[in-house]
Amino acid sequence: MNAVEAAGVVKDYGPVRALDGVDLTLAAGELVLLRGANGAGKSTLLRVLGALTRPTRGAVRLQGRDPFASRGAPARACVGFLGQQAGLYGELSVTENLRFAARLRGADDAEIGPVAERLALTSVLDRRARALSQGFRRRVGLARALLGGPAVLLLDEPWNGLDAASAERLSRLLSEQRDRGTAVLVSSHAAATELPKFDRELALARGRLA
State the CATH number of the domain containing residue 11: 3.40.50.300
| One pLDDT digit (tens) per residue for the chain, 210 residues | 799 999 999 999 999 999 999 999 999 999 999 999 989 999 999 999 999 999 999 999 999 999 999 888 999 999 999 998 878 999 999 999 999 999 988 889 999 999 999 999 999 999 999 999 998 999 999 999 999 999 999 999 999 888 888 888 999 999 999 999 999 999 987 666 667 889 999 999 999 998
CA-to-CA distance for 54 and 22, rounded, in angstroms? 14
Q: Is residue 88 in some structural domain?
A: no
The answer to whether 65 and 59 are in contact (CB under 8 A) is no
**How high is the pLDDT of residue 51?**
96
Q: b or e along 82-96 (b: 16 or more beta carbons within 10 Å of the residue's beta carbon)?
A: bbbebebeeeebbbb
Total structural domains within the chain = 2
Q: Which residues pair with 10 in a beta bridge?
A: 20, 57
Entry field: residues in the chain: 210
Residues 107 and 170 reside in one and the same domain: no
**Of 128, 146, 164, which residue is a domain's last?**
146
pTM value is 0.93
The answer to whether 14 and 8 are in contact (CB under 8 A) is no
Q: Is residue 83 in some structural domain?
A: no
The answer to whether 204 and 42 are in contact (CB under 8 A) is yes
CA-to-CA distance for 27 and 182, rounded, in angstroms? 9
CA-to-CA distance for 104 and 114, rounded, in angstroms? 18
Q: Is residue 167 in some structural domain?
A: yes
Residues 133 and 163 reside in one and the same domain: no
Which residue segment(s) compose the domain that 112 sits in? Answer: 93-146
Q: What is the full DSSP assignment across 55-92?
A: -SEEEEEETTB-TTSTT-HHHHHTEEEE-SS----TTS
The answer to whether 203 and 36 are in contact (CB under 8 A) is yes
CA-to-CA distance for 132 and 130, rounded, in angstroms? 6
Residues 181 and 158 reside in one and the same domain: yes
Q: Is residue 84 in some structural domain?
A: no
